[in-house]
Structure 1
């Protein structure tokens, strides 16, 4: 299903707090035990294809393109991910505090909510709250842009 996606990311590190918002179009795919959101992201480094996967107690965010990031999530577990840069690969570690997915078949909208602590190269990089809301895009901007 073609969807309009809003990604709100809040990063808290001590008393500092940063918030980012991305509005884009993509695809929502529901398989037996997992759901997927696929979308393109424009960043300072260039563009990346992003896939967010969520099942009952686990999930992942994978970006491929100008940046390559693999972040795995599993409730109450510390998992190792990676961030590939032109200068080398950085080790990343996620400690998932919360992961949730909802979808309303009638309204054709839903959300993915992930709360986790992130370490980069062993150093605390902050607590990340990623809230992704999405709804059916009846105009199907994603397909019209030739991204199917």
Structure 2
């Protein structure tokens, strides 16, 4: 199903704050009780294919293409993922502080994810990601 997706990410690191916002179109599908959002992002390095899996108590973000990354989120857990760069594969760790996902009957949903990110064991910042999606109007 085609959806309109808005992703807003706030990053706090050493007293500095930065905000990134994306508005794009993608696909929504459901499988095994989870909601999946699939979209492409055009960056300087090239196109990044992203899949976001939203389950009841966990989330997963997979990115491939110009950037390869795997991040897993589970409330109160510290979980390992990976980030592939031109320098090789780096270990990334997410410590999920808060995760909620709500969806209504008409296909509009919102996920809120707050986590601490560590790269190779070093803190990179605290991220608050707000993902809002709605089904595209059917013509």
> Which bin holds the TM-score, normalised by the shorter protein?
over 0.9
| Structure-1 residue corresponding to 2:58 | 58
Deviation at 1:112, TM superposition (A): 1.4
Q: Give 5+ residue unaligned stretches, structure 1.
A: 141-148
CA distance in 2, matches of 1:105, 1:42: 31
| Structure-2 residue corresponding to 1:143 | none
Three-state SS of the structure 2 residue aligned to 1:56 is coil
| Structure-2 residue corresponding to 1:130 | 129
Which structure 2 residues correspond to residues 34-45 of structure 1 after superposition, within 5 A? 34-45=34-45
Q: Give 5+ residue unaligned stretches, structure 2.
A: none
Query: Relative to total residues, which structure has the larger strand share, 1 or 2?
Result: 2
| Structure-2 residue corresponding to 1:67 | 67
TM-score (norm 1): 0.89
TM-score (norm 2): 0.94
| Structure-2 residue corresponding to 1:24 | 24
Once the two structures are superposed, what CA deviation does each residue of 1:7-37 show, in whole Å capped at 9, x if it has no partner? 1010011210000001110011122321111
